[in-house]
Structure 1
Amino acid sequence: MDDEGAGAATMPQPKRVTIAEIAARAGVSTGAVSFALNDRPGVSAATRSRILEVARELNWRPHSAARALGGARAGTIGFVLNRPARTLGTESFFGDLISGIQLGLAGTHVGMNLLVARDVDEELETYREWWSGHRVDGVVLIDPRADDPRLALLAELGLPAVVVGSHPSPPGTWPTVWIDDSDAADTVFGYLHALGHTRIAHVAGPPQFEHTAMRAAALQRFAREARLESAESFTTDYSSDAGAAITRTLLVGPRRPTAIVYDNDVLAVAGLGVAAEMGVPVPDDLSIASFDDSAMARLVRPALTTLTRDTVELGERAARLLLEQVEAGPPLTSRPGPALTLSVRESTARPRRPRAG
């Protein structure tokens, strides 16, 4: 190794500023510095202001372990996305939700730590590291599932959380900002049935998610009550490839559905493409609807009938509730999310009657 390389390898790291240095510069005791930096009583307003000004001049940053021992806030919330990375760039839901969370944090000087996890185990380990390292004050959790190990771990750690889910949380557990997926499903299926559809298929997300199970159960309940000719749900990984594959299978069957409802806009657009590929006109021979709305759903032709919700507001409500939960201590009460509306567009119509003879 040459001299230049050796020098680069041994380059000294910047020295961390200590409270003793701040105290010496400000002409106060280290105890006064500790009180001022941790926003605790014990120093006058003028002294606190002088100490904070010196800390800024020296570019002082709090040490996470010291903050944890002193009971100070991390000033950050966490959000883990446990989804295949290839789906994140195509699903507008995540971008809108993150935008809403940031909007809910606006003006609070609280930041967000965002991480994409490969699986549940990595997500669980992230929560352990964040909490033990005092890196977050709380987390937003999405895609709740039955017997969710993440919720059990967060309760065990005492890490404050807010769930974005489909129903209120049980009493004594971290609260949920919720949108009733059973009611949402009844709205979509009821509209298609009112148009005259009796053969309805549901192309869904992963089966372990609560909202997937609730929508599938709602379809079966509705099928019994409305005496539908056929009704079945098919699970996917939310990818366009999976949505396209299931749509092809459905459209080559002897009694193909007259309406297909997709769990998100990516699946729905993929299904629309397959219908065009196979020469099945939408909406004349097949109606298509989606549980998710986005610019993509409105720009394709025919534009998709969707359930519309304000996902940005959903994220904003979750962030604000989490900030309240961090301060409150004991679990707060769950709160409803923004209302859903059915946006009827050109992809749905009355089913065409079979020709006589």
Structure 2
Amino acid sequence: MKDIARRAGVSESAVSFAMNDRPGVSAATRARVRRVAEQLGWQPSTAARALSGEGSATVGLVLARPASTLGLESFFLQLVSGIQEVLSSHQLGLLFQVVEDVEAECATYRRWWAANRVDGLIVVDPRLDDPRPALLDSLGMPAVVVGGMEVGHSPAAAIHPGISNLWADDAGAMASIVGYLAELGHRRIVHIAGMGGLAHTERRMLSLRVEAARRGLSQVFSVTTDYSDAEGAEATRRVLAAAVPPTALVYDNDVMAVAGAAVAAERGLSVPRDLSLVAWDDSVLCRATHPRLTALERDTAAFGRRAAQELVCVLAGDPARQVQEPVPQLVPRESTAPPAAP
């Protein structure tokens, strides 16, 4: 700081104000100080910031899901990749932890807040009657919630002053899938869903029922799982063993869809002649499976980047806001076709 102050012709306190975005210096002085700092190769010290109480330069992410399912699902790997890309560009670290349930997640937030471990949070998997937003309000912890915070077709207006919300229209995406399958001629559709109680799962199931009723489809329902290939396969076996089995299955992730395709093969069913399959999130798995799987396409890494950038803005003092992502687009492939004649 002494070197920067001497070369810029200002006081050390002016350097501190300029480099920490505090009022007290003019825009011209701020620009001159930063230009000199860049010339000298100066970078802020994360340790010094933490010791002075100015922050930890770390963002937290807690995932309350079975740890055994994480290595299988590409969605979170891509999401974290995008998050990390933005955080790295801002010299922010990512503290990641997996816990058993939302109560343990809340306990983790309290520990991190008490120990000044993180400056803000990226919160995933909004739930019904979610206790986390109110907790973060009480702690004064800035955050971005990834996913709609309400079960209806769109989130309610933001009521949490330090929490931004980044969400995609799950209801619209499900309606597009049901519409596509119905236009192909399918009347018996089963949704192999993810974990019950998650807001996005409930939105998808609600949209499925609403769209089915609108189109006069009576043999349409959802079955919840833990997102794993094992539970996806087991749910597929159960619904295909029914006296009148479905002609189309919609899976909440790529892993379960691939497992479902394997179950269809073991039962001697041809995809798509005997059974059509749709995966919620497109991935290499969907494109490498034979036949290739019809899937919803979105840039999950870009979704993660936008979530991280929203948090960076909140940490910088910008007001919290709600940001809607475009509706994921359905990409038809060889796994879907009109149902066989009864």
- TM-score of Structure 1 vs Structure 2, range by shorter chain: 0.7 to 0.9
Q: Contact 1:168–1:175 at 8 Å: present in 2 too?
A: no
Amino acid at match of 1:88: L
CA shift for structure 1 position 54: 11
Candidates 45, 52, 58, aligned match of 1:67? 52
Deviations 1:206-247 (A, max 9, x none): 111011111111111111111114011000111111111111
Candidates 321, 333, 336, aligned match of 1:345? 333
In structure 1, the partner of 2:301 is: 312
In structure 1, the partner of 2:112 is: 130
Work out the CA distance in 1 between the residues paired with 2:183 and 2:230.
Answer: 31
Taking the TM superposition and a 5 Å limit, the aligned residue runs for 1:108-187 are 108-166=90-148, 167-168=154-155, 170-173=157-160, 174-187=163-176
Q: Contact 1:289–1:304 at 8 Å: present in 2 too?
A: yes
In structure 2, the partner of 1:80 is: 62
- The CA RMSD over aligned residues, in Å, is 2.9
Candidates 230, 233, 236, aligned match of 2:222? 233
Q: Contact 2:173–2:327 at 8 Å: present in 1 too?
A: no
Amino acid at match of 1:314: F
Amino acid at match of 1:74: S
Deviations 1:13-46 (A, max 9, x none): xxxxxxxxx99xxxxxxxx79x859947899969
Does 2:85 correspond to 1:103?
yes
Deviations 1:304-354 (A, max 9, x none): 100111100100000001111112265x22112244111111110000112
Q: Contact 1:310–1:338 at 8 Å: present in 2 too?
A: no
Amino acid at match of 2:132: R
CA shift for structure 1 position 106: 3.9
Count residues in correspondence. 317
Work out the CA distance in 2 between the residues paired with 1:67 and 1:122.
Answer: 29
CA shift for structure 1 position 267: 1.0
Amino acid at match of 2:159: G
In structure 2, the partner of 1:321 is: 310
- Does the residue aligned with 2:166 lie in a helix, a strand or coil? strand
CA shift for structure 1 position 67: 3.0
CA shift for structure 1 position 115: 1.3
Q: Contact 1:241–1:270 at 8 Å: present in 2 too?
A: yes
Does 2:306 correspond to 1:333?
no
CA shift for structure 1 position 76: 1.3
In structure 2, the partner of 1:204 is: 193
Q: Provide closer, same or farther for how the CA distance between residues 200 and 78 of structure 1 changes in structure 2, counting only shifts above 3 A.
A: same
Q: Tell me the percent identity.
A: 44
Amino acid at match of 1:134: N
TM-score normalised by the chain length of structure 2: 0.84
Work out the CA distance in 1 between the residues paired with 2:282 and 2:43.
Answer: 48
Say which is worse superposed, 114-123 or 182-191, in terms of deviation.
114-123
Work out the CA distance in 2 between the residues paired with 1:224 and 1:86.
Answer: 36
TM-score normalised by the chain length of structure 1: 0.81
Larger Rg: 1 or 2? 1
Work out the CA distance in 1 between the residues paired with 2:41 and 2:335.
Answer: 61
Deviations 1:274-297 (A, max 9, x none): 000011111001001011111011
Q: Contact 1:168–1:335 at 8 Å: present in 2 too?
A: no
In structure 2, the partner of 1:293 is: 282
- Does the residue aligned with 1:328 lie in a helix, a strand or coil? coil
Q: Which runs of 5+ in 2 are unaligned?
A: 3-11, 149-153
CA shift for structure 1 position 118: 2.1
